[in-house]
Structure 1
Amino acid sequence: MTAGGPLTVVEFTDPACPWAWGSEPKFRWLRTALAGLDGDRVGWRRVFGILFDEDDDPPPDPDAEAAWYHRYIADIARHTAAPYAPRLRWVARSSWPSSLAAKAAEAQGAEVAVPVLRRLRETTFLLGAPADRAETVLDAVTGVPGLNHARLSRDLVSGEVRAAVRRDWAETREPFPEVLAVTGPGPHPGRAKEVGERHRFALPTLVFTGPAGRAVVPGWRELGEYVEAAERVAPGVRLAAPRLTAAELLERHRSVTEPDLALLAGSAGPPPGAVRVDGAGGPVWLHPSEAATHPVLRG
């Protein structure tokens, strides 16, 4: 990184959030651009905000709720162009199990944690069966390269990991003043959500912090808004992500959507040799080794 000093990014998210799922191509671009900066003084931290909490009231009619939420996801996909499951079998009963697993995977390094979180997102948005119990979470991530599955199963139920996610829960419910009254065009400008007697950051929200201060980019935003925020708080930084071929993109990420291909590879064509999984709104392309263990093809 240049002499501007450290730049940190905090991502408020949830594995089952449809806006976060739709934002993944832009966040992949940002992570790639940040990784290309000189030095190692750039950090990216995920905060799991718990979209579906343990003490939420159960729906009186789970099937009707699933049908309504599926329509909600479809409406969001009209803005994000993200694929989604043709049928949602149920709404996640709790975000805790998947968030605990995603947090626990971080102890095994980003090369493991990122694909673990991707798999957990895909149980909702490809399979239509959200991983919302410890056993379904562990099943969903079976076969992720480099994952120590036995360690994850232990860490998933540890007090240390649960305390870390509880801290994430609390941090998400202490939104900054600048997001309490956000207004603006678009379907999801990112105003903090009322949850009971508190507010929480809208999901997703990125917070950029650098030598020149803090910039908060909440909700559904264009890529340029994230880039401008990062460069504003870290003067001297210029973000650019290298353009990959479709094959290189698949090799790096193992699971790519058409918006991924358009933004990161400039390609409308599928990666050669990829396994196609058709969702509503478009396909997802899986690396053959990813397809061999992916729950959407096992299920």
Structure 2
Amino acid sequence: MSGALRGGAAPLVRVTEFTDPACPWAWGSEPSFRLLRHTLSEQAEWRTVFGILFDEDDDPPPDPDAEARWYDGFIRDVTVHTGAPYAHRLRRLTRTSWPASQAAKAAQSQGPETAERVLRRLRETTFVVGDPADSPEGVGHALRGTDGLDLPRLSRDLVARATRAAVGADRALARDPVPEVCGPQGPGPHSGQAKELTEGRRYALPTLLFDGAGGRVCVPGWRPFATYLEAAARAAGGPVPAPSPLSPEAAMERWPSLTGPELTLFTGASTPPDGAVRVDTAGGPLWLRPDEARTHPATRQPWRPYEL
């Protein structure tokens, strides 16, 4: 998001999103976060912090197939609450969050809309296709054909020392949660309480921090859209824009892919626009704009790595 309003005015609120491309609660929060970014638009400065859900030094599972089946079940349990689509089969547990996080971080230098599309594609590769983008080659496959993306540039930037350092700083920040999330457990199904780790604590993913003239407001865990909008107004110290319903056509023009919950939240309808390409998942359809469908990993199986 833009860091300033037209005319040079400061944004009303600054939003810090703690997330991970492989987090199912973050995937389920996409409808609310997409609408919030769209609604606040230039009134907000939005920062994405990658918390590294799966670290490089995590012990490998003794039985990878059993671990994948367990996590597949966990994803399905999460979607009972979020309504998000999920893959027919998770082929494996994400080996590490670093490559996808570095790709999403590197994409930020190509503009906010491109960065948004990149992170979304990386999420869909796990939760729609079931094949996590957890290597540079997997990232390349996931992102090939992403509208507006210079993929050769991203492939270079992904492995750059500065990108690695930026994600490392994100990881450290995610492990320094504010006191508000370190107390007793809040309401479920995703309380948002900071996760206890061997090395300390990490923000629950996702968590949003809102900062503005009204102070800081923390919204951890999975929450309804209205909770986020109210938090933005409290942090801003005054009114913020209210969402305006979009037509299905306008929603598909703005976002190249839409889940069922997104279609309903954005438009109040459940019928996609004419021409939308349906991708069936075990948890309902994902609708793709035709240009997105031509390059999306869900429509070009089997897996094939991107080569420069």
TM-score, normalised to structure 1, is: 0.96
User: Does the alignment pair 1:171 with 2:173?
Assistant: yes
Aligned match for 1:90, one of 63, 69, 92? 92
The residue type paired with residue 197 of structure 2 is V
Letter in 2 for 1:295: P
Structure 1 range deviating more: 181-190 or 80-89 = 181-190
Q: Tell whether the 8 Å contact from 1:5 to 1:234 is kept in structure 2 after alignment.
A: no
User: What amino acid does structure 2 have at the position aligned with 1:89?
Assistant: R
Q: Is the 8 A contact 2:11 2:45 kept in 1?
A: no
Mean alpha-carbon deviation: is it higher for 218-227 or for 164-173?
A: 218-227
Moved more, 202-211 or 185-194: 185-194
User: 2:304 — aligned with what?
Assistant: none
List aligned pairs for 1:58-73, cutoff 5 A: 58-73=60-75
1:261 counterpart residue number:
263
Per the TM alignment, residue 182 of structure 1 is displaced from its structure 2 partner at its CA by 4.3
Match of 1:248 in 2: 250
Q: What is the identity, as a one-letter code, of the residue corresponding to 1:81?
A: G
| Structure-1 residue corresponding to 2:23 | 17
User: Is this contact kept in 1: 2:186–2:193, CA < 8 A?
Assistant: no
Aligned AA for 1:208?
Answer: F
State whether residues 208 and 218 of structure 2, in contact with CA within 8 Å, keep that contact through their aligned partners in structure 1: yes
Mapping for residues 113-124 of structure 1, pairs under 5 Å: 113-124=115-126
**How far is the alpha carbon of 1:19 from its aligned partner?**
0.2
Contiguous gaps of at least 5 residues in structure 2 = 302-308
Alpha-carbon shift at residue 41 of structure 1 (Å): 5.6
Contact 1:119–1:140 (CA under 8 A) maintained in structure 2: yes
Q: 1:240: Cα distance to partner?
A: 1.2
The equivalent residue for 1:143 is: 145
Q: 1:178 to 1:67 in 2, by over 3 A?
A: same
Which residue, 139, 160, 163 being the options, matches 1:161?
163
Following TM superposition, by how much is the alpha carbon of 1:231 offset from its aligned partner in structure 2, in angstroms? 0.6
How far apart, CA to CA, are the structure 1 residues paired with 2:10 and 2:104?
Answer: 31
SS in 2 for 1:72: helix
State the match for 2:111 in structure 1.
Answer: 109
The C-alpha deviation readout for 1:256-293, integer Å capped at 9, x for no partner, is: 01100110011111221011001111100001110100
Any residues of structure 2 matched to 1:206-221 within 5 Å, and which? 206-221=208-223
- Matched with 2:199 is 197
Q: Secondary structure of 1:8's match?
A: strand
The TM-score, its normalising length taken from structure 2, stands at 0.93
Does the CA contact (< 8 Å) of 1:182 and 1:189 recur in 2?
no
Extract unaligned runs of 5+ from structure 1. Answer: none
- Structure 2 letter corresponding to 1:227: L
What is aligned with 1:183? 185
Percent identity, aligned pairs only, is 59
> Structure 1 residue runs of 4+, over 3 Å off?
3-6
CA shift, 1:4, in A, is 9.4
1:4–1:211: 8 Å Cα contact kept in structure 2? no
Aligned length: 295
Distance change in 2, residues 1:5/1:245 (3 Å): closer
